[in-house]
Chain A
Amino acid sequence: MAADSVAAVGQPVIEWDTLAARARSRRRWTMTALYAFLIVVSVPILIPYLWMFTISISATTGGTDTFVLWRAVAILGPAVFAFWPLQAIFEDGKALQRARLVLVAVALIALAIFVAPHLHEHNFRFMWNRNFVDELRGYGGELIQQFPSVWVAFANSLLLAGAVMLIVVTVATLAGYYISRFAFAGRSTFLRSLLVLHAFPAMTLIIPIFLILFAVSEYGWILGEIIGLGTIGGVVLVICTIELPFAIFIMKGFFDAVPWEIEMSALADGASRRQAFVRVVLPQVKVGMFAIGIFAFIRGWEEYVFVRTLLQFEKSNWVMSLYLFWVADDIMGVDYGMVAAVGVLYVVPGLLLYVFTQKFLVQMTLGGIKG
């Protein structure tokens, strides 16, 4: 009826108050529906992570003692999602802040009373006891020592991720600068091929990559020891190569954004192009180098399929993903708590890195897509 009166020509009688009331209720309902939707679809993601975390610090029987989880959820769930309704109730900024502080305090106290007494670190004993599997399975006598120490795997993961990061940053920075700033025969062909590689799924090449690394081990003399099958070096180079097209594009984008004039004036001031690159241009693209470095590190830290295929013959070269996989494979039915604890040790460094650098990474993934 409101719409009719608007359309009527001549003397429009507009019921402003009705329109306002309608707008008010529609806005409230829309917002409620949107937030309800987001909460409903997000809870199923959060709960398993919370589960892994609580089990790792609470399970005692070897099974999944879930009452701690549900207690924690019963306290944290309402607390986290009460954040939004509070906004509607307290319109003044200071009162809202105070209400939120109270909420946090109540939640913490509740956790301390109902959850804290059940927490313990026993599930993390794999960190100092290498023979936990044998003990769990109740072997007497001679120890099998099926797994390397977790710290070997942790160090290997750090080494692998760190090496991937260093190589990707170095190689991609050099290449990105060259294709951004130098004219050379075949430049556009190179760029186009790089684009194809960027989208091309490297996973499809895993068989020939395996064979190439095998050939290096067999016929590569000393090289076989460094980058052959079963070596960390080999996996590092493979992962680096897969990351390269993307990293080179990101770096090219950053170099493209450096004004030509500053490089020109460096040349006019007497620098060579290499000097201009190091002294003047590199400092401008630090952000880009940092971003692709983080990306490469996380990629190396999380890799599974390639390490499983190319690395698992050498136990001393295991990384965290292999360690967790085999621990889970071996004692999943026996001690959930410890599997969860290994998972926590593995997931936390990557997640921390992600949380602190999230803004960068999200921007970076968008490189090169037409708007």
Chain B
Amino acid sequence: MARVELNNVRKAWGETVAVDDLTLTIEHGELVSILGPSGCGKSTILLMLAGIYAPTEGELRFDGQVVNEVEAKDRNVGIVFQSYALYPHMSVRQNIMFPMRFKQVPANEASRLVEEAADLVRVGDLLERRPSQLSGGQQQRVALARALVKEPQLLLLDEPLSNLDATLRMTMRSEIKSLQAKLGITTILVTHDQLEATTMADRIVCMKAGRIEQVGTPDDLYSRPSSLFVAGFIGAPPINLLPGKAVDGKLNVNDFSLTCEGAAAGDVTVGIRPERISFAEGGIPGTIDQTEPMGRETLYVVSCPLGSIRVLEAGSKAHRRIGEAVAISFDPSDTLVYDSRTEALLGDVRARAPS
């Protein structure tokens, strides 16, 4: 299993820059997710690691050795594409067998490995079918088997779940994760779905426009997003972001003044996750504008002097009515304050509601 490093990697086609000055290390056996909106360059990274694209600048290293110019076929990497890219004219068996053609493995050994790989992802009974006779989930498993059969040192997954329906996606999420843990194979998962990234990955690399915004554990990214972009991208329903101004120890948001704990000045944005706000007597007064029962929880939109605030409350029944007067409060340690201009987190600044 490989330790993968990207040092100051840049990929550009003419004027278009897909990946810019990217540095990242992925440890042995780690499952790292690259998360970002479409077009942020995350798939480009994958194709560079696979050996399809060559980096314009910088180094790719496998176990410390530069592999920039090594051909795809020599890198011993497995990849699963969003479209699965199964060879349409080959049966499932031939598809999984395909990578073995290019290895010096005796025929009976190869077919044993193929069957093992197929059983591993539970498509052992579909070996004689054609890809067109398989459901999306089955195709996905076959693609996974084909990627795993040659025991790659690095597994690359490019949006592997986004063509599946919601239930199947949940099953495959946990299956891939446990498979990865069992095989201990270094894995990179590219996705635009934050839920996929947070549930599966050991670490998440959040990207925007070819650059890394933040690297960290799912918990880091959720509780301490280092930029406004990450804060907004991760979490559903989305975080409340309230633009305001820091003046003389006050944070003025709309018509309301919060107390500023820590040093801040100028334009700032206050972020509070909806589930970190509670209804409590003596909080900031407001009225319920909208209710959205979501099953286990209910999302309320409360209009108050701070603006329109999303509040997530446990309980399936929307027991509060539109127009009802409420009061909301939050703990200062749950607030995130960002510099609106640089969009960076002001780590030691907190906002407190006046009591």
Q: Is the interface of B mostly helix, strand, loop or mixed?
A: loop
Cβ-closest chain B residue relative to A20: B69
Cα A17 to Cα B69 with chains together (Å): 9
Query: Are the C-beta atoms of B105 and A20 separated by less than 8 Å?
Result: no
Q: Does B68 contact A (CB under 8 A)?
A: yes
Q: Does B16 contact A (CB under 8 A)?
A: no
B287 CB, min distance to chain A CBs, angstroms: 44
Q: Does A7 contact B (CB under 8 A)?
A: yes
Cα A22 to Cα B74 with chains together (Å): 10
Contacting residue for B74 out of A4, A7, A12, A19, CB 8 A: A19
Interface positions of A from 1 to 31, Cβ below 8 Å from B: 2-4, 6-7, 12, 14, 16-17, 19-24, 26
CB 8 Å contact bits of A265-292 with B (1 = contact, 0 = none) = 0000000000000000000000000000
Query: Are the C-beta atoms of B70 and A19 separated by less than 8 Å?
Result: yes
How many residues of B are counted as interface, with CB atoms below 8 angstroms from the partner's CB atoms? 16
Cα A20 to Cα B65 with chains together (Å): 11
On chain A, the residues within 8 Å of B74 by CB distance are: 2, 6, 19, 22-23
On chain A, the residues within 8 Å of B76 by CB distance are: 6, 14
Q: Does B104 contact A (CB under 8 A)?
A: yes
Interface positions of B from 18 to 52, Cβ below 8 Å from A: none
* With known contacts A6-B76, A23-B70, A17–B103 Cβ distance under 8 A: no
Cβ-closest chain A residue relative to B71: A23
Cβ-closest chain A residue relative to B2: A14
On chain A, the residues within 8 Å of B63 by CB distance are: 14
On chain A, the residues within 8 Å of B71 by CB distance are: 19, 22-23, 26
Cα A21 to Cα B105 with chains together (Å): 25
On chain A, the residues within 8 Å of B62 by CB distance are: 14, 16
Cα A4 to Cα B104 with chains together (Å): 7
Query: Are the C-beta atoms of A7 and B67 separated by less than 8 Å?
Result: no
On chain B, the residues within 8 Å of A17 by CB distance are: 65-66
Ordered nearest first, which 6 A-B pairs have the shortest CB separation? A16-B65, A20-B69, A23-B71, A19-B74, A19-B70, A20-B70
> Which B residues have a C-beta under 8 Å from some C-beta of A?
14, 62-63, 65-71, 74, 76, 103-105, 153
A-B contact pairs, 22 of them (CB 8 A): A2-B74, A3-B104, A7-B103, A7-B104, A7-B105, A14-B65, A16-B66, A16-B67, A16-B70, A19-B67, A19-B70, A19-B71, A19-B74, A20-B67, A20-B69, A20-B70, A22-B74, A23-B69, A23-B71, A23-B74, A26-B71, A93-B14
